[in-house]
Structure 1
Amino acid sequence: MDSVARDILDLSRRGLLRGAAGLAALGAIAPGMASGQVTAAFRADPFTLGVASGDPAPDGFVIWTRLALEPLAPDGGMPRAAMIVSWEVAEDERFTRIAASGTAIARPELAHAVHVEVGGLSPGRPFFYRFRAGAAVSRSGRARTAPAPGATPARLRFAFAGCQHYEHGYFTAWAHIAQEPDLDFVFHYGDYIYEYRGRAPGQPGWGPLVRPHLGEEIMTLTEYRQRYAQYRTDADLQAAHAAHPFLPSYDDHEVDNNWAGTHSEEDGGRHYPIAVPPEVFALRKAAAFQAWYEHMPVRAAALPRGPDITAYRRLDFGTMARVHVLDTRQFRDDQPCSDRNGRPCAEVSRADAQMLGPVQERWLLDGLTQSPGQWNILAQQVPMMRRLLSHGGIAMDKWDAYPAARQRILDGIVERGTRNPVVLSGDVHVALAATIGQWPEDPESKPLAVEFTATSATSEGDGVATRPAGDALLQRNPQIALYHAQRGYCVSEATATRMTTEFVSMPFVTRERAPRESAARLVVEDGRAAIERG
């Protein structure tokens, strides 16, 4: 037996001796595990949370799973023991041509999640993968490598979506995304879970109650893990993860509504008179970030260190596109004006305002300088567009409340001559499309970039295509070309000459099996920051 195997065996032995909870969980595992075997013979399916892939590179990608015999139980119903999981990647669905294989350790410290960074694969093609734990075999998933550096693919096709409140509706959007053909990736902009407490039928609360959350508002690692598991048991979400590689990010609800940097939503004031100190909020962030990492197909570089995580990253897809996945939560200043939407207070005008933080901002501008991509995609969370609300107000949680930070990015795009900047966003639960001027506060400013904002997958329930507030918003903001308030997602296809974005909508989410409808198809031509109907 080699030293690695001895270490794993030792971890397994010690893990099995840790407490009655771990021993009780062995009831679902064959007795051989207790005698010191490294792998287990499960009496129930340990792959209840599905599989996923993500962060594609030219030579590989991440593949993910999490062992959970009882997904909604503490520790997923698993013993506190490290376990061996084998994996294989194949060129065909029947796994007759194995391209790579190996083993990984599912550790109890990480909720028995497995992240494998597969390498050595051919660029620009699909692959299939699966896991095995003992005799149990996971479903197979489909991943895809990115094109080789310098390669010019004929097209890049991707979807983006988010804001999937479990209580507000069914994840039919993810069922449709699973069926979208030939996606190179799916960008999840955030709000993968919502932290709010579960409601009982008839109990008042925000939005419709279609299916309840478990438990109270989540704050501990155990609670965040259970909430992710509840969402991950959804068959439609599992299907989308198995069908396409994801580029996951996070917004506020993965931690706490409208959190900003070191500040909790409960930072004192009219609604929350007892503030949560930053050092206490850091404990909640640490739990939330660990659970996010445990449930996302991301690389080890995103493993959090307590309340700190590096989730921003860039991915190249040959010469077609560079994708900058941004983090607009962790490094920003607290929202100005007490986070109350309305006319800007003096704090909005701060020249040193931070949305990305100095380090991430420099990283982004460096990436725009050196970009090989014909299309430069800023995949982030909250709208960057200028968006005047009624009576001249702005939304304090969006880029509008940090105009100096936004202007630094736009000035950097101009200085670097960045080609075709395209911003992706979400958060506001309506579909929007807009041009962003070189100086957004000047309505006569020359358009510099375009932005596509995906509506929510479920949040706020069914929605309607148009409403008076939307018509008024369009009248106040001529740079906004589209407003649509049903649920859905976006699918974009970039070529050498244009990017076409389809806004997909569904007439309802409070019932299952909503049809896929097309709300709009918008086109951006190469070299022109303008939106046209396709």
Structure 2
Amino acid sequence: MTAGAGALLGGTALPGMAHEQGQEQGQAPALITADKARPQMPCGVMSGDITGNKAIIWSRTDRPARMLVEYANDEAFKNAHRITGPMALPGTDYTARVDLSGLRTGQPTFYRVRFQDAQNPSAISEAVNGSLLLPGGTQRDICFAFSGDEAGQGWGINEVFGGYRIYESMRRFKPDFFIHSGDQIYADGPIQAQVTLDDGSIWNNLVTSAKSKVAETLEDYRGNFAYNFMDANKRRFAAEVPFLVQWDDHEVRNNWYPGQQIGEAEKRYQQRDLNTLAGHARRAMFEYNPYRINQHDPDRIYRMFSYGPMLEVFMLDERSYRGKNSPNLQTELNEDAAFLGKPQLQWLKQALLRSHSTWKVIASDMPISIVVPDLNPDVPKGTYEAWANGDNGKPLGRELEIAEILKFIKQHNIKNVVWVTADVHYAAATYYTPEKARFTDFKPFWEFVGGPLNAGTFGPNEVDQTFGPDVKYVSVPQGMKQNRSPAELLQFFGIAKIDAKTRAMTVSIHDIDGKSLYKVEINPEA
């Protein structure tokens, strides 16, 4: 995204500005009764980027209209605070947000959103309600969910199947927040109305014009994000569970990297410059998520969230600063071998070093040791997409960054680091130990893989042995047919719970309907 686009987002959605413009107590404005004259809210409401006593509230309407937000500590909205928020305008595809601060930690906040028509101020939308819970103190357990990979491989919203029913399964766990580990959309994955399954039955998708082709324009990318909000399960979940989101490749195009040009072997694209596509994608992603925009670096995606003395979450960006995909065998950590890049790598080290929370969760949009080849038709064979290079030897290429992070954690005795990720379209639990590794200068740690939320199921992939992975659980069998549909129920998410008394973290992996498949309790290092 260009600096101008970042300024547009900051100026139109303006996190924090609405709060400064006018926060007051009072009753909701009167509503008119002609429904079709009122602004509509097709995407419901959403909260996210919660940290300390702050949270972003997000929504979208269908016309120029002003966002109105009320919030209170009880569902009856007694003594509610009201915020006159920003205008939702075409420049942000009629999305808007406010940044609530001064919220009470450790107890629910109830909110409702309306939009007031810019041309007809008496036309005010129906209210859409939401809630969130900011963790706080040491007296209450913390629970969060994690997964990724949504609407991929042509598997879209099938209302007969129950839509994105995994969101309803996650909602029943009442998580404090949800880490969406990337591939929020499949901008390179058109969706057809019907797909014939192996047994001859038909998978029926909801379809839109934006999902009928690969995304190339800003409107195409916006339409991809809007598509997922057509699912009632996601809207219900988003109204109750705050999101922390990052991106991976399919927000732009499969396996993309900065500066890439799409080769002639890929026939679907007219726009072949990945920097242009990524600019559209980043802007649409910021518009359609409850991001708190960094005022000093509006394009920045990596960030940290504090949940008090028990937990901090570090959200990485493994797309914006990487070198090009290659055989991944560089012998020194230079720009070609970069995955996080030097500034982000330094930020992560210092943020971990400053953390005083019991648990430090690193949200990586790609797994550490699972080998992910780049199989695009326009790249050479033997090219790799993720951290691992598959040679099972000493760290090379992007593995050098992981080695540097792990060594830093050990040198500074940073305790209780856990990684969560997605991307590979199956779930796994892996324990890393130096006794089994080629690189040994690190403390043992866990990595958990979730996903897909609603996409084709793949795997299991080869696992690189450089960092001594001991794979404790894999959710799919060896030799499985690839790209299995959600109808086969091989969709997965993770749940992590931190016990307020013992500080132990229990991580479990669940299937599409919430059945527990694997569970491990990790006791904190004192």
TM-score, normalised by the number of residues in structure 1: 0.75
2:236 maps to 1:239: yes
Q: CA deviation at 1:97?
A: 3.4
1:84-233 matches, within 5 Å, as 84-134=66-116, 135-147=124-136, 151-165=137-151, 167-168=154-155, 170-181=163-174, 183-195=175-187, 196-199=189-192, 201=194, 210-211=204-205, 213-214=207-208, 215-233=212-230
User: 1:62–1:202: structure 2 CA closer, same or farther, 3 Å change rule?
Assistant: closer
**Do the aligned partners of 1:457 and 1:487 also contact (CA within 8 Å) in 2?**
yes
Q: CA RMSD in A?
A: 3.4
Which residue of 474, 478, 496 maps to 1:483? 474
Which residue of 36, 47, 58 maps to 1:53? 47
The one-letter code sitting in structure 2 at the alignment partner of 1:483 is: V
Q: CA deviation at 1:369?
A: 0.8
Measure, in 2, the Cα distance between the counterparts of 1:378 and 1:311.
14
Per-residue CA deviations over 1:75-105 (Å, capped at 9, x if unaligned) read xxx3xx4x32211111112222314533322
Q: CA deviation at 1:442?
A: 1.7
User: 1:88–1:438: structure 2 CA closer, same or farther, 3 Å change rule?
Assistant: farther
The one-letter code sitting in structure 2 at the alignment partner of 1:522 is: V
Partner of 1:319: 309
**Do the aligned partners of 1:131 and 1:138 also contact (CA within 8 Å) in 2?**
yes
1:123-522 matches, within 5 Å, as 123-134=105-116, 135-147=124-136, 151-165=137-151, 167-168=154-155, 170-181=163-174, 183-195=175-187, 196-199=189-192, 201=194, 210-211=204-205, 213-214=207-208, 215-263=212-260, 266=262, 268=263, 280-301=273-294, 309-337=299-327, 347-352=329-334, 353-385=337-369, 396-401=384-389, 402-438=398-434, 441-442=437-438, 448-460=444-456, 479-485=470-476, 486-495=490-499, 496-506=502-512, 515-522=513-520
1:136 alignment partner, SS class: coil
Q: CA deviation at 1:373?
A: 0.9
**Do the aligned partners of 1:336 and 1:348 also contact (CA within 8 Å) in 2?**
no
Identity, in percent, stands at 23
Q: CA deviation at 1:152?
A: 2.7
Q: CA deviation at 1:394?
A: 9.2
**Do the aligned partners of 1:197 and 1:213 also contact (CA within 8 Å) in 2?**
no
Per-residue CA deviations over 1:324-354 (Å, capped at 9, x if unaligned) read 01111111111112xxxxxxx6x34443321
1:417 alignment partner, SS class: coil
Which residue of 65, 71, 80 maps to 2:59? 65
**Do the aligned partners of 2:170 and 2:514 also contact (CA within 8 Å) in 1?**
no
Counting matched residue pairs gives: 441
Unaligned runs of 5+ in 2: 1-10, 13-33, 117-123, 157-162, 374-380, 390-397, 477-489
**Do the aligned partners of 2:364 and 2:420 also contact (CA within 8 Å) in 1?**
yes
Partner of 1:3: none
Measure, in 2, the Cα distance between the counterparts of 1:260 and 1:209.
33
Measure, in 1, the Cα distance between the counterparts of 2:465 and 2:254.
30
More helix by percentage: 1
1:399 alignment partner, SS class: coil
Partner of 1:71: none
**Do the aligned partners of 1:53 and 1:143 also contact (CA within 8 Å) in 2?**
yes
TM-score, normalised by the number of residues in structure 2: 0.76
Q: CA deviation at 1:58?
A: 2.3
